[in-house]
Structure 1
Amino acid sequence: MRRIDVITISLGIFATGGIIYLVFQAIGFDGLSAGVWSQALLVIGVLGWTLTYLFRVANKDMTYNQQLKDYEDAVLQKRLEEMTPEELEKLQKDMEEES
């Protein structure tokens, strides 16, 4: 993630907090209650986002892991394409013996 992305996301979260605060004031909350509830919603939102991130990390569903798997698959495919028919036959026999 680039630095400008982080700055944009941070400003977006800050602006969202302000908008939520104004909405709470518009529906009748006093300034203190509106501030508390808007902060509570933002904290819950950030915690929810963090939990989804940790869930993706635990399941290895990250971009890096996917790129690594794609690379490994491509390398194996390339090796298989470069093998002679005799080598492929030998590999198949070895795999049948292991099963």
Structure 2
Amino acid sequence: MRRIDAIGIGIGVFAAGGLAYIILQMAGLNSPEAGIWSQLLLVGGLIGWLFTYVFRVTSQKMTYHQQRQEYEEAYFQKRLEELTPEELAKIQAEIEQENKMKAKG
């Protein structure tokens, strides 16, 4: 996220709180009650966002993790394409030997 995005989100949240306050006052709540309810809505939204963030972190659905995984896959694919047929056959033989060793042990 760029700095300007974070600033925009902050201004948007601030504006949403003010708008909620005005709407609640227009709905008939007095000033302190409208303030409490608008703060409650904002804190509830923050807690909801926090839970989605924790979920994305624990399930490794973060943008950084996905980008890193895609980079690693592209890197290994490129390395695989650069191998000669002899090198590829050697690696495959090593993998088969390791699999046989695991199956025995």
TM-score by length of 1: 0.89
Q: Unmatched 5+ residue regions in structure 2?
A: 100-105
Counterpart Cα distance in 1 of 2:35 and 2:23: 11
Q: CA deviation at 1:30?
A: 1.2
Counterpart Cα distance in 2 of 1:43 and 1:77: 46
**Cross-structure match for 2:97:** 97
Matched AA of 1:5: D
**Cross-structure match for 1:79:** 79
Provide Cα deviations, 1:21-60, integer angstroms capped at 9, x if missing partner. 1111122111111110010010000111122112212222
Please say if 1:70 is aligned against 2:70: yes
Q: Percent identity between the aligned chains?
A: 55
Q: CA deviation at 1:14?
A: 0.8
| Corresponding pairs, count | 99
Counterpart Cα distance in 2 of 1:95 and 1:19: 63
**After TM superposition, which residue ranges in structure 1, 4 or more long, deviate above 4 angstroms?**
none
RMSD of aligned alpha carbons = 1.3
TM-score by length of 2: 0.84
